[in-house]
Amino acid sequence: MLKYLKIALLSATFIACASTTATIDLAKVDQELKSTGLVGEIHGASQDADLFVLTVRDPNNFFVNVQLPLTTEDTEIMTRLKATKRHQYFTVKGELIDNKAPIKHIKVTSLELKKDYKSELDQNPHQYKSDINELRTKSEFIGRIHAQAQDGKMLVMEYKDRIIPVLVTEPPTQALVKTFYRGDLVKIRYMLRNEPDRPLHIALERQRNLGNKILPIELIDSLVRSHGQTIEKTGYLVKFPKSPQISFNIYALLQEDSERTNIQYTLVNFENPELFKAVREKLEKAWNDNQKNIHNERNKLVNRSVKITAKGESNMVDQGQANPQILIQNIDDLKIEIQ
């Protein structure tokens, strides 16, 4: 865990320890929603899919947080939700509702911007390439795990460039889902949920409908299997612009496959600050010198003018780790090819 956390500790913002088992008090959250208002940060917003998620953090510990989907019956508030973007802070009023989902949802009655956020991503907003309604005509797909929560009862999948909530109803399947890591490549078999129809929700197929030889979810590629081993990867240069969580730009390489899923490996060194700085400077120069083919791909910028080959130690130590990492040991292990 230490190596993973050090990237956060490089930012003066982060002073908390992630080993805590503390959780957010949802009763207090509900009380604030009904009174003074709850302050939270937009984790993600998919406007055309009506999918909006708020992060609520412990003010004394950055790593203690919960993600709560936002919903509303007010058309004016829905219009305002559709204008939200990642890392904006809002004061939200409303209430937690019991809609039989494993994760509590907030029914929003008031939404006020508290702190705006501007980044390079605003200059060229992401345009979704896939149609979420494709899933209405399918019963299975291959994608990457974005998150799992509530002891495996809730799964969030990446389908092409979309984020899809998936309900997991059966205890044996929930136990299996709990073992997976963010970024793992899996094949899921699913059924459509009748409610709600927006945003589109699906559920893993029940085992009894598949028989004994087919599972509702199957692991294709595990990121943690290579942890601690020397790996070499090649892909397009990725930039995660500095944000409220990270005080400088982070670079990565993007690998894509035939299923149009992708995984990005952040390129870091935690033990040697000077080498880490040299890595960032080398990649930043390549980025700045080659600007002809840069695209906003949801939460990151991808430069398809620059290909990176990186060798180092694979680092994947936490199930919720945002990205696998390649720990660069030598600046010469980082090679750049201009397309």
Give me the pLDDT at residue 6, please. 41
Give me the pLDDT at residue 298, please. 76
pLDDT in tens, 101-122: 778 889 999 999 999 888 776 6
State both tokens at 61: 């510990």
CB atoms within 10 A of CB 173: 20
Distance CA 267, CA 118 (A): 24
Give me the pLDDT at residue 121, please. 67
State both tokens at 202: 């699906």
Residue 32's contacts (CB-CB under 8 Å, 6 or more residues apart) are 38
Taking 70 as the pLDDT cut, the residues of the chain under it are 1-22, 47-49, 121-123, 126, 195-199, 244-245, 258-259
Distance CA 119, CA 256 (A): 25
Cα 334 to chain center, whole Å?
A: 26
Domains in the chain with CATH codes: 2-117 (2.40.50.140), 132-221 (2.40.50.140), 226-338 (2.40.50)
Give me the pLDDT at residue 209, please. 94
User: Which residues make beta-bridge pairs with 54?
Assistant: 42, 68
pLDDT in tens, 34-80: 999 999 998 877 766 677 889 898 888 777 888 888 988 899 999 99
Q: Are 112 and 90 in contact (CB under 8 A)?
A: yes
Give me the pLDDT at residue 295, please. 85
Burial class (CB in 10 A: 0-12, 13-18, 19+), 253: buried
For residue 60, the 8-state DSSP code is T
